[in-house]
Structure 1
Amino acid sequence: MYLLSFFLQVPDFSSESLTVKKFVLVHGEGFGAWCWYKIVASLDESGLSPITVDLTGSGFNMTDTNTVSTLEDYSKPLIEYLENLPEEDKVILVGHSTGGASISYALERFPEKISKAIFVCATMVSNGQRPFDVFSEELGSAEKFMKESQFLIYGNGKDEPPTGFMFEKQHMKGLYFNQSPNRDIALAMMSMRPVPLGPMMEKVTLTAERYGKGRRFYVQTLDDLALSPDVQEKLVRENSPEGVYKIKGSDHSPFFSKPQSLHKILLEIAQIP
């Protein structure tokens, strides 16, 4: 595993030298494909092919969040995209926050179609771990959260288990956007949707034979209040990606707070042989 400095220079970048130019950008909890708009523009300007997906019940995918109960359901748009890729094509997957669980699931399903997987302040879970467990230091245990959280949504009625959650706006601003521009915060406040709880609480099955053969990279955000730098460091220690990159001055939404730094890192990783 190697460590890259905070500020990366990508001199004389040419997309012509790359064998894999497709970046599939996977959003995290509550977000949608819309959150990547700055990264889509910069990758496109660099001659690359950014693709975004709305996971089930997110962004413009109008599925009722309360009906999304498994990681398989939640990740279906990503899986369908990969299933329909031409046999000779490969992609670079980029997952933000809990989108890390979806790209891990995809890496287990389609290791042959994924050139590299990039976890951006993301839930890079171990085999048998729940995405929620990664946030337990901030949110408390899953059991406590399910019993006591004021943010839970009971889509099937109060007598049934909760189906989702959504932070209130001021709480969300403090957790996710403490370094982001006001215009991007305004976009997020209008666009964020409830998070399906089932996929967050599901233990992910990952095997050494498939997931373990994938090339994984991690991008740490050093002013992150949703997933602290210490927790991100722990994820890196426990899961040993091929490379680790750090963005100083970034909150939990580097596509808003530090888009140029994130763009440079994506280009740097794309060029690794």
Structure 2
Amino acid sequence: MCLVLSSRIMGNLCARLKPPSTNTKKQCSSSSSRRERRLDDAAIREQAIAAAILFKQHRQHFDRSTSLRYPNGLSKKTSSNTLPRSSSSRARSLADPLLQPHQLLNQGVNVDDLETNHIVLVHGGGFGAWCWYKSIALLEESGYRVAAIDLTGSGVSSFDTNSITNLSQYVKPLMDFLEKLPEGEKVILVGHDFGGACISYAMEMFPLKISKAVFVAAAMLTSGQSTLDIISQQAGSNDLMQQAQTFIYANGNDHPPTSFVLDKSLLRDLLFNQSPTKDVALASVSMRSVPFAPVLDKLSLSDLKYGSVRRFYIETLEDNAIPISLQENMINASPPEKVFRLKGADHSPFFSKPQALHKLLVEITKIH
């Protein structure tokens, strides 16, 4: 369309600027053709430059996006006095450094040689199995078996969130999945956000069926704690979370809230401040209310069962929902085997840093 418009404009200019002549039409036509060829050449050059830039981006090294930290080094703190500035007030890069194909597909591991290559992804509050779509694709392409669970009242579950009365009811789909595993088969559980409390519950119930547990910006409780106990540690310090929450009282205002929803206009700043716009749009039409009763349940975790499962934690350094200071409080209270850090990741690294998250998950599966 641009080239057509350009040729018409040039033709009109020729007609106006050239003196009358029997060769006028031929001259204008020749001039237009040359100009079209020049424009075509310019367009080709622009496409070549864009392709070269894209190729260069694909060759960027991935190692800059992740780092490993052990519990012994937990004394180094990140300041919790200020909340990271929101995406609306600062420039940010949405690029997730890409691994080269051979790095993505194997990363130096034969999945058949692992203790287990079966990974179970457990979403956080308000999310569903849909939020893991990038991780599912990357893991399956690398040869892993992957299951993403919709907890009760989440994702495609038709259950009314406001009717959920306890944590056991909320995590029942995960319990059913683990119960049906063949004898002797183990899985690696990956929990995000409130999904951390859910996989902790599963670790206490089915310790022999879980090889490792990975907490991704997740609630990692000690015995006798509830998720609300953890949240209360930052009471008054996370104004953005308080602004975003709206409680629902399905049983009447004289009873405890049954669930809460997050203001869609604040979702980006709270959960997706480093995530691509298309993923924010997906979340805005897919997220559901969060059941409140499970948040109140205190977990009973034993060393014999829960404590027998190897735990790993992945910190998200640009997290506005569970600030890094709160993540480190949980790590200090119950140190896992290893702690990893995801640079440039918001509360939803499966959106903001899917490749980096994938690399860490594969690395954790390889730890003997």
| Class of the TM-score when normalised by the shorter of the 2 chains | over 0.9
CA-CA distance at 1:133 after TM superposition: 2.3
CA-CA distance at 1:139 after TM superposition: 4.7
Residues 160-180 of structure 1 deviation map (CA, whole Å, 9 limit, x = unaligned): 221000111122221100000
Alignment of 1:72-151 (within 5 A): 72-140=168-236, 151=246
1:3 aligns with 2:69: yes
Residues 32-71 of structure 1 deviation map (CA, whole Å, 9 limit, x = unaligned): 0000000000000000011011000000011000111111
CA-CA distance at 1:128 after TM superposition: 0.8
Would you say the 8 A contact 1:217–1:243 is kept in 2? yes
Three-state SS of the structure 2 residue aligned to 1:95 is strand
What is the alpha-carbon root mean square deviation over aligned residues? 2.2
In the alignment, what sits opposite 1:41? 137
Three-state SS of the structure 1 residue aligned to 2:189 is strand
Three-state SS of the structure 1 residue aligned to 2:262 is coil
How far apart, in 1, do the equivalents of 2:190 and 2:210 lie?
10
How far apart, in 1, do the equivalents of 2:136 and 2:329 lie?
30
CA-CA distance at 1:203 after TM superposition: 0.9
Would you say the 8 A contact 1:164–1:195 is kept in 2? yes
In the alignment, what sits opposite 2:288? 193
In the alignment, what sits opposite 1:164? 259
Q: Which has the higher helix share?
A: 2
Would you say the 8 A contact 2:245–2:263 is kept in 1? no
How far apart, in 2, do the equivalents of 1:233 and 1:150 lie?
24
How far apart, in 1, do the equivalents of 2:235 and 2:291 lie?
16
Unpaired runs of 5+ residues, structure 1, are none
Q: Which amino acid aligns with 2:267?
A: M
User: Aligned in 2, Cα 1:160/1:11: closer, same or farther, shift over 3 Å?
Assistant: closer
Would you say the 8 A contact 2:244–2:266 is kept in 1? no
How far apart, in 2, do the equivalents of 1:221 and 1:229 lie?
7
User: Aligned in 2, Cα 1:198/1:17: closer, same or farther, shift over 3 Å?
Assistant: same
In the alignment, what sits opposite 1:51? 147
The percentage of aligned residue pairs carrying the same residue is 51
How far apart, in 2, do the equivalents of 1:190 and 1:150 lie?
17
Would you say the 8 A contact 2:139–2:358 is kept in 1? yes
Would you say the 8 A contact 1:59–1:192 is kept in 2? yes
1:27 to 114, 120, 123: 123
Three-state SS of the structure 1 residue aligned to 2:314 is strand
Unpaired runs of 5+ residues, structure 2, are 1-67, 71-96
Three-state SS of the structure 1 residue aligned to 2:135 is helix
1:249 aligns with 2:344: yes
Q: Which amino acid aligns with 1:255?
A: F
Would you say the 8 A contact 1:138–1:226 is kept in 2? no
Three-state SS of the structure 2 residue aligned to 1:269 is helix
In the alignment, what sits opposite 1:259? 354
User: Greater RCO between the two (CA within 8 Å, min separation 6)?
Assistant: 1
Q: Which amino acid aligns with 1:236?
A: I
Residues 124-182 of structure 1 deviation map (CA, whole Å, 9 limit, x = unaligned): 001111112222244559xxx99x99610011222322100011112222110000000
Please report the TM-score for the alignment, with normalisation by the length of structure 1: 0.92
